[in-house]
Structure 1
Amino acid sequence: MKEQRLDAGMRDHDHYAHRLPNWRNTLRKQLIPIVRWETPYLALLQDKLRSPALDSYFAFTANLGTHTFFMIMLPILFWCGYTNIGRAMVHVLASGVFFSGFVKDMLCLPRPLSPPLQRITMSGSAALEYGFPSTHSTNAVSVAVYAIQILRTTAETRHPTVHLALQVLFYFYALSIVFGRLYCGMHGFFDVVIGSMLGAGLSIIQIVYGQAFDEWICQGSYTNPLIATLIIFVLVRIHPEPADDCPCFDDSVAFAGVMVGIQIGAWHYASTGLAWDYPIPSTVPFDLRNIGLLKAGIRICLGVIIVFAWRGFMKPALFMILPPIFRVLEHARLNLPRAFFLTASQYKSVPKLKGDDNVIPSASDIPRLLTNLRNPRKRSVSVGPQSVADAYETLAYRHMRRRESISSPDAERPKSPLKQSEPDGKEPYFGYAANSRFPSSGREGAPLRAEPLPTPVSSRVQSYEEMMGSGEVVVIPVSPPESVGSGMGDGEGSWDMPGEEEKEDREMFLKLERPRVRYDVEVVTKLIVYSGIAWLAVEGNPILFELCGLGISK
């Protein structure tokens, strides 16, 4: 019997009902109304506060809450003798990335709808992930809570003003990152509140139990780090399968690898006789007065070069070694396939992957990243769905609005905010443009509109609600972005949808940016590569520093 074709408004519900277990789908449906309720209020906040200066500021500072920033900074803490802080930061950040990604893939909740929101970002991959909870908020709050607690419990009598200023700085850092996710239209209140609570909770656990855990890892035989490693592998294995092609799992695996390498490296380095036992076992010996600024700088540069050399060598090597092994395992039915990853039997070799890592970029990408950081105006403002989850939510909300208004004879489909009618009823014009200006203020990147008359807040909120579910994919670059691929990938774009409205829905899916093709060997590759990076940070490079004469003089 031929499979019944569902229209676009029905297939969005069918999609999650078929791809998620019943309990996950039920929980998702209970939480979706929160995302929908808060969207018009987020749009109102954006409309009240937006300016080109704030756009650039929040787009730029979002980089300070990313995995890449922390992965570059954390090894330096180890090499400069702050092993206790470095391990604590790894624990809270790795746990935050893993568990926020775990919840994202479990619930599959979309980001707040665009339109009416405009999304401001310097990252092309962030919008491809689910929205709840906010990983940026988890990272920022976990770092701030831990740092503030350390500062408050450390007496500072010589420079009390500096001590207080540092605490204020961390408060400001966390608030800036969290509020920036709302301002940029990337997350809702629910996302950042739960994300912040998760980050604070992880930091409290680290503060209470962190030192005891570090001592437990470093004492005794290899059984303690082995137990920790096995627990991490089990968590990776039970990571939920998402309903859409979401890259959250990739980051979770990378930081799981970091956790493995940190524990193994700390355990072994503590037994070499080179490490200090204070303030925690396996502390890297460091004294700036003894080593000097020159040696300290060389240590950092050499360590960074070795990390990138390891990554640059091991990834292509593993991509050559692992596929034949995975084919044998697949033939013996011992493989563990994962949705949206190609199994080894489906490809001959892994091609060179561009932009394949959201955590640590390749060495060839460093100049581009530095250019982006020097030019915070290099961002894009996106209006309309950017991921499959966005598109399904757009259709779901549109379907809900149709059902609510079906009894009204005057009901009509909500119009896109990108197309507004001229006063005389002539051809519509696009309401946003990359280089448009306010007639009175001359601000760039702003909506192309006449000065509006004051309207009540309730009317503004209602107008934003009318925009929801009416989106089409439109990206407004402030400077030319890199080209990205598109397409449905797994057949979602092959719907049989007659009519103009259904054609628009299908085109919406076809215009979406999709994550690149991912290969099954990447999971093990990430675990090995990032375990190695962590090991180099806590043991490999510190031993090399001693052998090269960059350690503390005897």
Structure 2
Amino acid sequence: MLHMNGAMFKLITYLQDSELVARFQRTCGLFAVKSERRRTCGNGHLQVDGTEDRSCTSDYTYQANGYNVDAASGPQYQVRNVFLYYLFLVSAALGREVFYISFLPCVHWNLDPFLCRRLVNMWAVVMYIGQVLKDTLKMPRPLAPPVVRLETRVSAEYGMPSTHAMAATTIFFTFLFSATHRFQIQFESGLLLAVLLSILVCLSRLYTGMHSVLDVIGGVLISAVLMLLTYPAWDAFDGVQLTSPLTPVVSVVLPFLLSYCYPKLDHYSTTRGDTTIILGVGAGCSAGYWLNQQLGQTSELKGPFPLPLPPLTPPTLALGCARSTLGVAVLLGTRQLAKSTSLWALCTWHQVSPSDPLTRRRREIEVPYKFSTYTAMGLVHTILLDRAFRQLGLL
């Protein structure tokens, strides 16, 4: 038993090693600038290891936090494989708001509201658990150096588990398992695509230096377990969510309380705010889908299932692009309007300045303004835009 415990400890230590992440980065052609003197080369790369190149011009930066940091350009690094660099940056974006605010609504508008509802539900549950685990386990991110960190916004967050890995696993596999019951999709091809996209997102967290191998594996396993445990109740929950008279109250009050009672932070990070955003989206969508069901104005697909996939004809593609472009633009406008209004109202109530960056970090302001903003976006997405598309002849 002691031997097994010792082997497990060594394995965990190895998987959490920052040097393992740094080796992966170097294998993929991403190298930290090691010298204090930074030389910008004619080929657009940053020269490292003190080698000479007549095409380089010199300037100086100084070591800070383990790697060269310039106030204007951030951590310095050299990219020797441009294809992998952009591949992993795009893959990392699949776990950010820019992806969620476009992909999830577009599934509703262009494919099936049922799939969007299920994705949002699972995404909210899994991400909340993942964020709470981060601030409960308090395991650090990989050290820099030896790792190059390409992102700064979430550097103050803890590492374990990787919520990018959790979100990717959850969204792609929930989509696969749900869509195969609704549409005539070849499961093997869908499985290959889901695995490929999930792997790319997971590897992007290593490439960007934001997570250890242990963080990524932990994120995948936790999300897989949560999906396995909840899968039998997916259909039953969907029915209750659409028909229960308690849905509009529970779907808004419970997520708000979970956001407000988020575990106390020992230092400020983006986890509480990001969790509030996710739960706000879930609350707005849940209430909106319920209201559509009560009014009988839902755009749900009718069986018998599985249905053939919609044909990709030029008119269909044009309508889909029009819905997506207009819908995302309206959602972005809703976010800006709701954010400005709620932040002004809360700051006026608490008699603080909205221009002070520290004001937005206070729980009594951060949670209500972000929750109300993204709840409004969820309601606009599920209720108003469907009706607008019908009026404009886009549905």
TM-score w.r.t. the length of structure 1 is 0.53
What residue is the counterpart of 1:90 in the other structure? 120
Establish whether residue 518 from structure 1 lines up as the match of residue 374 from structure 2: no
- From the superposition, tell whether residues 231 and 517 of structure 1 become closer, same or farther in structure 2 (CA, over 3 Å): closer
Deviation at 1:322, TM superposition (A): 1.9
Matches for 1:537-548 after TM superposition, within 5 Å: 537-548=381-392
User: Among residues 355, 377, 383, which one is paired with 1:351 in the alignment?
Assistant: 355
Q: Secondary structure at the match of 2:295?
A: coil
Aligned partner (choices 104, 118, 123) of residue 134 of structure 2: 104
**1:309 Cα offset (Å):** 1.9
Distance 1:43 1:276 in 2: 49
Asked if 1:236 is matched to 2:259, the reply is yes
| Aligned equivalent of 1:215 | 239
Give the AA of the match of 1:350: P
Task: Give the aligned partner of residue 146 of structure 1.
Answer: 174
Q: In the alignment, which of 534, 537, 540 is matched to residue 378 of structure 2?
A: 534
Distance apart, 1:273 and its partner CA: 2.2
Residues 293-332 of structure 1 aligned to structure 2 (within 5 Å): 293-325=317-349, 327=350
Q: Give how far 1:215 is off.
A: 1.2
Amino acid at match of 1:209: A
Q: Is the 8 A contact 2:342 2:369 kept in 1?
A: yes
Given the superposition, is the C-alpha separation of residues 240 and 109 from structure 1 closer, same or farther in structure 2, using an over 3 Å criterion? same
Quickly say closer, same or farther: Cα 1:68–1:205, change in 2 above 3 A.
farther
1:151, distance to aligned residue in structure 2 (A): 5.9
Structure number with greater CO (CA < 8 Å, separation at least 6) is 1
Matched AA of 2:388: L
Tell me if the contact between 2:282 and 2:375 (Cα under 8 Å) persists in the aligned partners. Answer: yes
- Taking the aligned partners of 1:148 and 1:81, their CA distance within structure 2 comes to 13
Residues 225, 133 of structure 1: alpha-carbon distance in 2 compared, 3 angstrom cutoff? same
Q: Relative to 1, partners in 2 of residues 1:151 and 1:303: Cα closer, same or farther, differing over 3 Å?
A: closer
In the alignment, the residues of structure 1 paired with residue 20 and residue 257 of structure 2 have an alpha-carbon distance, to the nearest angstrom, of 40
1:272 aligned onto 2:295: yes
User: Structure 1 residue 183: deviation in Å?
Assistant: 3.3
Is 1:40 equivalent to 2:19 in the alignment?
yes
Gaps of 5+ in 2: 1-8, 30-79, 304-308
Distance (whole Å) between structure 2 residues aligned to residue 231 and residue 155 of structure 1: 33
Separation in structure 2 between the aligned mates of residue 287 and residue 216 of structure 1, nearest angstrom: 29
Q: Please point out which of 157, 160, 163 is paired with 1:129.
A: 157
CA distance in 2 between counterparts of 1:47 and 1:293 reads 41
CA distance in 2, matches of 1:317, 1:47: 47
Cα gap change, 1:276 to 1:94, in 2 (>3 Å): same
Distance 1:230 1:155 in 2: 34
Matches of 1:42 and 1:295, distance apart in 2: 44
Does residue 550 of the first structure (1) align with residue 375 of the second (2)? Answer: no
Q: Distance in 2 between matches of 1:153 and 1:262?
A: 22
Residue 294 and residue 113 in structure 1: after superposition, are their counterparts in 2 closer, same or farther (change >3 A)?
closer
- 2:147 paired residue number: 117
Is contact 2:288–2:383 with CA below 8 Å preserved after alignment? Answer: yes
User: Which of the numbers 54, 63, 81 marks the counterpart of 1:52?
Assistant: 81
Residue 172 of structure 2 aligns with an amino acid whose one-letter code is A
Q: Post-superposition shift, 1:174?
A: 0.8
- C-alpha RMSD of the superposition: 3.2
Contact residue 162 and residue 216 of structure 2 kept, 8 A:
yes
The separation in 1 between residues aligned to 2:213 and 2:129, in whole angstroms, is: 19
Aligned equivalents of 1:36, 1:177: Cα separation in 2: 18
Paired position in structure 1 for 2:38: none
**Once the 2 structures are TM-superposed, how far is the Cα of residue 296 of structure 1 from its aligned partner?**
3.7
Q: Secondary structure of 1:185's partner?
A: coil
AA at the equivalent of 1:92:
M
Question: Is residue 2:250 matched to residue 1:227?
Answer: yes
The 1:150/1:313 distance shift into structure 2, 3 A limit, reads: closer
Please tell me whether residue 165 in structure 1 is matched to residue 189 in structure 2. Answer: yes
CA deviations over 1:369-417 (Å, ceiling 9, x no partner):
xxxxxxxxxxxxxxxxxxxxxxxxxxxxxxxxxxxxxxxxxxxxxxxxx
Structure 1 runs not aligned, ≥5 long: 1-29, 281-285, 328-343, 354-488, 490-515
Question: What is the CA–CA distance in structure 2 between the aligned matches of 1:142 and 1:106, rounded to whole Å?
Answer: 21
* One-letter amino acid of the counterpart of residue 74, structure 1: L
By how many angstroms is 1:292 displaced? Answer: 4.5
CA 1:151–1:298: 2 relative to 1, 3 Å:
closer
Instruction: Determine if contact 2:342/2:373 at 8 Å carries over to the other structure.
Output: no
Compare CA radii of gyration and give the structure with the larger one: 1
The match for 1:191 among 191, 215, 226 is 215
Distance 1:241 1:78 in 2: 35
Q: Once the two structures are superposed, what CA deviation does each residue of 1:126-177 show, in whole Å capped at 9, x if it has no partner? A: 3232111101110111123223434665785xx85xx643331221111121
Q: Give the deviation of 1:239 after TM superposition.
A: 1.1
In structure 2, C-alpha distance between the alignment counterparts of 1:80 and 1:152, rounded to whole Å: 17
Distance 1:44 1:297, change over 3 A: closer
The one-letter code of the counterpart of 1:52 is: N
What is the rounded CA distance, in whole Å, between the counterparts of 1:279 and 1:99 in structure 2? 34
Per-residue deviation at 1:256? 0.8
Q: Which amino acid aligns with 2:386?
A: P
Residue deviations 1:444-498 (CA, integer Å, cap 9, x gap): xxxxxxxxxxxxxxxxxxxxxxxxxxxxxxxxxxxxxxxxxxxxx9xxxxxxxxx
Contact 1:45 1:183 in 2 (8 A): yes
The residue number in structure 2 matching 1:359 is none
Could you tell me which of 202, 225, 228 is aligned with 1:178? 202
The number of residues matched between the two structures is 328
CA 1:112–1:300 in structure 2 vs 1: closer, same or farther (change >3 Å)? closer
2:107 paired residue number = 77
Q: Which is helix-richer, 1 or 2? A: 2
Displacement after TM superposition at 1:49 (Å): 4.4
Does the 8 Å CA contact 2:247/2:287 hold for their aligned counterparts? no
